Amino acid sequence: MPEPVLRAAGLARSYASPAGPLSVLNEVSLEVRAGESVSVRGSSGSGKTTLLQILGGLDLPDAGKVEVLLPGRGLCPPRMALGRGVGFVFQNYQLMPELSALENVALAGRITGVPSDEADRHACELLGQVGLAARADHLPSKLSGGECQRVALARALVNHPTVLLADEPTGNLDERTAEEVMSLMLGVVATLGTALVLVTHSREFAERASRRYVLSGGALSPA
């Protein structure tokens, strides 16, 4: 059986609110192995983004533990793996508006210490893989939503993450473009062997993952 690339156990998270603590996650545990894709559905406000942010080290749980596989280092806290072991794709792309598609992807490589020429070469290669070789010089404002999300996918993969965390990656796209981006994402992660945790409201896309969960009442249940 492939090794786990992501291991979360006993996660709890609540937020302060005027009415008292708002408990969002209780006892969430999840293990994802290399090459697996896992989908998480759940109603708005159920805590999906909170969970992904904790899995990726953008937020800390009140209780519980997360570990992510960092090649050469073994299982590490996700904050250590940020930008390397973990890649993120967000609903609203979050590209740097003043940088071209190529620069957006290459910058993510350079900030982890990869030399510029190597980062540029790898960024070019990834833009080719997502079908955007001809748009490498375009600013995000000169790209369609689907193209922006392809750039964001290339950026998320530039540092060879062991796990890709995608938060409603097709939420801003029309049906046909959403299908194209989802097929591309599933195909690319399968080719690279990257594990995927996909948060989506789409039952159809969720079904395409190898394991499926619903987040409700602060807990994950198999769908």
Ligand X SMILES: Nc1ncnc2c1ncn2[C@@H]1O[C@H](COP(=O)(O)OP(=O)(O)OP(=O)(O)O)[C@@H](O)[C@H]1O
Q: H-helix or E-strand containing 22?
A: strand 22-33
Nearest one of 44, 59, 43, 45 to 11, comparing CA atoms: 59
Which does residue 47 bind out of Mg ion, ligand X, none, counting CB within 5 to 8 angstroms by kind? Answer: ligand X
Task: Say if strands 4-15 and 63-70 run parallel, antiparallel, or are unpaired.
Answer: antiparallel
Nearest one of 16, 84, 32, 11 to 209, comparing CA atoms: 32
φ, ψ at 210 (rounded to 5°): -75, -25
Cβ–Cβ < 8 Å for 37, 198: yes
Alpha-carbon separation of residue 69 from 34, 121, 132, 145, 155 (angstroms)? 10, 25, 29, 31, 19
**For ligand X, which is the closer residue by CB, 11 or 154?**
11
Shortest approach of ligand X to residue 1 CB, angstroms?
30
Shortest approach of Mg ion to residue 171 CB, angstroms?
9
How many residues in the shown chain lie near Mg ion by CB under 5 A?
2
**For ligand X, which is the closer residue by CB, 91 or 162?**
91
Shortest approach of ligand X to residue 13 CB, angstroms?
8
Q: 197 Cβ partners below 8 Å, 6+ apart?
A: 6, 30, 32, 37, 38, 39, 40, 52, 55, 163, 164, 165, 166
Which does residue 42 bind out of ligand X, Mg ion, none, counting CB within 5 to 8 angstroms by kind? Answer: ligand X
Residue ranges that bind ligand X, judged by CB under 6 A:
15, 22, 24, 42, 44-50
Shortest approach of ligand X to residue 168 CB, angstroms?
6
**For ligand X, which is the closer residue by CB, 45 or 115?**
45
Q: Show contacts with Mg ion in window 97-136 (CB under 5 A).
A: none
Shortest approach of ligand X to residue 35 CB, angstroms?
26
Q: H-helix or E-strand containing 49?
A: helix 48-55
Per-residue x/- track, 35-64, Mg ion (CB under 5 A): -------------xx---------------
Taking CB atoms, the residue at the shortest distance from Mg ion is 49
Which does residue 15 bind out of ligand X, Mg ion, none, counting CB within 5 to 8 angstroms by kind? Answer: ligand X
Shortest approach of ligand X to residue 11 CB, angstroms?
12
**What residues line the site for Mg ion (CB under 5 A)?**
48-49
